Amino acid sequence: MVSFGKKLKGRQIQEWQGYYINYKLMKRKLKQYANQSQAVVPDRRFVLKDFSRMLDHQIETIVLFLLEQQGALASRISELNEQKDSLQEVPDISKIDELREVYQAVGRDLLKLLYFVEINAIGLRKILKKFDKRFGYKFTDYYVKTRANHPYSQLQQVFKHVGLGAVVGAISRNLADLQDRQGSYLSIYDQPALPLQDPVVDSMQAAVDRLSHSTNFLNFLAQHALIMQEELPAPVEEGVDDQRYHFMSLLLNLANTFLYMVNTYIIVPTADDYSMSLGAAATVCGIVIGAMAVAQIFSSVYFSAWSNRSYFRPLIFSSIVLFIGNVMYALAYDLNSIPVLLIGRLFCGFGSARAVNRRYISDCVPLKYRMQASAGFVSASALGMACGPAVAGLLQTNFKIYKITVNKETLPGWLMAIAWLIYLVWLWFSFKEPVRDTEIKNVPQESKAEPDSLEKGIVEPLLLKSPENQQDEDEQEGDESEEAPEDSHKPANSIVAAYRLLTPSVKVQLLIYFMLKYAMEILLSESSVITTYYFSWSTGHVAVFLACLGLTVLPVNLVVGSYITNMFEDRQILLASEIMVCVGILMSFNVIIPYSVPQYVCSGLLLFVSAEVLEGVNLSLLSRVMSSRLSRGTYNGGLLSTEAGTIARVIADATITLAGYLGESMLLNITLLPSLFICIVSILATFWTYNSLY
């Protein structure tokens, strides 16, 4: 495994070598500053000014060459347009085909230029991050802010690829005009959704999409799912994706996600009544709800490992186990058995295939669809979370079929058992097992000298990841002449190895994730007991309240992803959200005045919405600062975050049950105290982390 500098050089087009960022030269300059600082304290202003001047020169070289190439492409397109106009007067099929091939050749040259921008963008991001790390300056913030918005900014050409979009549009439009559209005279502007079946256009659009990976709603939701991506994919990645991708299989994965979330929350409004029906205290609902999370701690690991070999078999196993678990949950009423009830919920937790769902999207969905698929994963989870309590509120019935009781406590179990049985049949006939890596290796590869090989190159845009990202890569980079250890980029092979890859900032992000999941679980799981004790709410009222909370997820993410993240830095939103969660917890305490419905609803809504904002921003940051070695393998970043959230839920549900022994009158305040403590600790940890980094 060679160093990043050599890897960067290996990606360069030979005839353009003099116009790429000189990463090696700038790294030597950093070493020179570092050596000087050992002898004498350097003038900070001189270092900043000197290195800024060097970067300005590098970027100017890149941009002037980029403009020159854009002009050459524009001239070629202009000449081709004249030929196309003459062909429209006297159509000639053979000449039209030749002209289409020439347009495609221009498109391939444009692809080379797009990857030229990407490679330079990554080199710039790397050297900026290395400067900040070595000297502790906020140089990246200073440099980007002073250059990006300046009227004479050349950095805009790298950030926004100004002008390249117009060239892409010109080639796409002209190829669309030349394509046989069965007599239609509409252009791509009249019918933008009409697909253009041309691989060159698809490749150009994919490259532009990667360069345009700015903060928006879909990207925000995709990062919310924490589906990790590698910075440098394998050369056959796009070919692999095409062989693995199957839309119906993706839909089945999203359906599994939706049903599992419905299964998790459908019992919440009635869990306390069910516990009392079996002769237990209402607060035993904490154990009943949390049993599923306990099992999920273990199921996440074995499902993650199983997904290394198959996706179909884990999903089949998941559906069968969930069917059995829900049947046991429903039968516990007639058996009058708390153990059967708990075992049923444990079975449901052992069927949690969310690790497989995440892994399928990460490994088998093409890069051009991955963001939408990741957003679909989050949307399916949010919809399931809202539908679970809402459905429970509708199941107000009571009758018997032979000796089997069907009422509001057992019907959620029977309904989910039927749903999983239907899903199992659908899965069996419709799922397509993706092509495995061993099969993909046998696919013939094109020569590396072909321009198309560039398409499989570096895909991460400048500043897509935060300055502290990929710390492990930089620590292993060393001199250009040195080689990194062979296992420096291998995935972690155990939980301990994965934990060792976590930087302090990542640990803080996981702590925040733990805190918000704990606070949300306390709010949701004890809602039925609290509202019954203080307000005498019925199951229907609790179901409506929980469903309304769940329905806020997507609108909140829409506002945050589309607007707030464009107005403030992520760390500012993170800290503000933590503070608002803390305020929501404080408002929830029953201290002096009589506890009222407005206080409970407003404090619960503030807590839940703030936690949702915090979760989105936190996972967005986490997906950017986590080591690239945690983007694959069994013990990946998604598994670590899932385990952190699941453990938080388990502890929260156990807290509710234990606090119940002190009486329902003390339940609210006792369960809120740990939430408040963990929230304050996470706020202090956030302050400490960002003060040390910035």
What is the overall mean pLDDT for the chain?
78
Asked if residue 246 lies in contact with residue 434, where contact means CB atoms within 8 angstroms, the answer is: yes
Which residues, at least 6 apart from 540, have a Cβ–Cβ distance to it below 8 Å?
393, 396
Residue 212's pLDDT is: 54
Cα–Cα separations (whole angstroms), residue 259 to 46, 183, 252, 285, 403? 60, 46, 10, 21, 28
Asked if residue 627 lies in contact with residue 501, where contact means CB atoms within 8 angstroms, the answer is: yes
Asked if residue 275 lies in contact with residue 285, where contact means CB atoms within 8 angstroms, the answer is: yes
| % of the chain beyond a pLDDT of 70 | 73
DSSP-H helix ranges across 11-43: 23-39
Buried b (16+ CB within 10 A) or exposed e, 239-258: bbbebbbbeebbbbbbbbbb
DSSP-H helix ranges across 395-447: 411-430, 437-440
**Secondary structure of the chain: what % helix, strand, coil (to 5)?**
75, 0, 25
DSSP-derived letter for residue 405 is E
Mean pLDDT for the stretch of residues 194-199: 53
Mean pLDDT for the stretch of residues 169-187: 60
Class at the top of the CATH hierarchy for domain 247-433+496-689: mainly alpha
Convert the pLDDT of each residue in 32-91 to its tens digit: 887 776 656 556 778 888 888 888 888 888 888 888 888 888 888 888 888 877 777 667
Residue 202's pLDDT is: 65
Domain boundaries, the chain: 3-183+198-224, 247-433+496-689
By CB neighbour count within 10 A (0-12 exposed, 13-18 middle, 19+ buried), where does 390 fall?
Answer: buried
Which region holds residue 434: left if phi is over 0, alpha if psi is between -120 and 50, else beta? beta
Quote the longest CA-to-CA distance of the chain: 91
DSSP-derived letter for residue 568 is S
Residue 193's pLDDT is: 43
Mean pLDDT for the stretch of residues 178-201: 50
Residue 692's pLDDT is: 60
Mean pLDDT for the stretch of residues 362-390: 82
Please tell me the distance from the alpha carbon of residue 655 to that of residue 671, in angstroms, as a whole number.
6
Which carries the bigger pLDDT value, residue 349 or residue 166?
Answer: 349
Could you tell me the two tokens for 644?
Answer: 């952190």
HEC-encoded secondary structure of 6-19: HHHHHCCCHHHHHH
Convert the pLDDT of each residue in 466-512 to its tens digit: 333 444 444 444 444 443 444 555 777 777 788 888 888 888 889 99
Could you tell me the two tokens for 290?
Answer: 């949390």
| pTM, full prediction | 0.68
Convert the pLDDT of each residue in 305-357 to its tens digit: 898 889 999 999 999 999 999 999 999 999 999 999 999 999 999 999 988 98
Mean pLDDT for the stretch of residues 209-215: 50
Asked if residue 484 lies in contact with residue 476, where contact means CB atoms within 8 angstroms, the answer is: yes
Question: β-strands 398-401, 404-407: how paired?
Answer: antiparallel
Residue 236's pLDDT is: 39
Asked if residue 306 lies in contact with residue 359, where contact means CB atoms within 8 angstroms, the answer is: no
Residue 581's pLDDT is: 95
Closest CA to 630 of 305, 311, 229, 304: 229
| % of the chain beyond a pLDDT of 90 | 33
Which region holds residue 387: left if phi is over 0, alpha if psi is between -120 and 50, else beta? alpha
Whether residue 1 has pLDDT greater than 50? no
Using N-to-C axis directions, what is the helix angle for 504-525 and 570-588, rounded to 10°? 30
Closest CA to 537 of 594, 597, 585, 593: 597
Asked if residue 650 lies in contact with residue 299, where contact means CB atoms within 8 angstroms, the answer is: no
Please tell me the distance from the alpha carbon of residue 262 to that of residue 244, in angstroms, as a whole number.
28
CA angle at 229 for the pair 626 and 499, rounded to the nearest 5°: 30
Single-letter amino acid code for the residue at 245 = Y
Which carries the bigger pLDDT value, residue 658 or residue 641?
Answer: 658
Which band of pLDDT confidence, cut at 50, 70 and 90, is reported for residue 162?
A: low
HEC-encoded secondary structure of 507-538: HHHHHHHHHHHHHHHHHHHCHHHHHHHHHCCC
Most confident listed range (32-36, 194-198, 355-359, 405-409): 405-409
Mean pLDDT for the stretch of residues 550-568: 78
Residue 468's pLDDT is: 38
H or E segment and range at residue 404 = strand 404-407
Which residues, at least 6 apart from 349, have a Cβ–Cβ distance to it below 8 Å?
291, 292, 293, 294, 295, 296, 299, 325
Which band of pLDDT confidence, cut at 50, 70 and 90, is reported for residue 155?
A: low
Residue 445's pLDDT is: 41
Residue 382's pLDDT is: 82
Residue 675's pLDDT is: 95
Closest CA to 620 of 464, 492, 470: 464
Which residues, at least 6 apart from 340, have a Cβ–Cβ distance to it below 8 Å?
328, 331, 332
Residue 272's pLDDT is: 92
Which carries the bigger pLDDT value, residue 643 or residue 170?
Answer: 643
Residue carrying structure tokens 């936190």: 618
Residue 693's pLDDT is: 52
Task: Flag the least confident range among 165-174, 479-488, 614-623.
Answer: 479-488
Fold of 3-183+198-224: Methane Monooxygenase Hydroxylase; Chain G, domain 1 (1.20.58)
Residue 42's pLDDT is: 59
Please tell me the distance from the alpha carbon of residue 22 to that of residue 163, in angstroms, as a whole number.
24
Residue 194's pLDDT is: 43
Please tell me the distance from the alpha carbon of residue 98 to that of residue 509, in angstroms, as a whole number.
56
Which band of pLDDT confidence, cut at 50, 70 and 90, is reported for residue 517?
A: very high
Asked if residue 293 lies in contact with residue 646, where contact means CB atoms within 8 angstroms, the answer is: yes
Asked if residue 531 lies in contact with residue 185, where contact means CB atoms within 8 angstroms, the answer is: no
Residue 604's pLDDT is: 94
Mean pLDDT for the stretch of residues 672-693: 87
Whether residue 617 has pLDDT greater than 50? yes
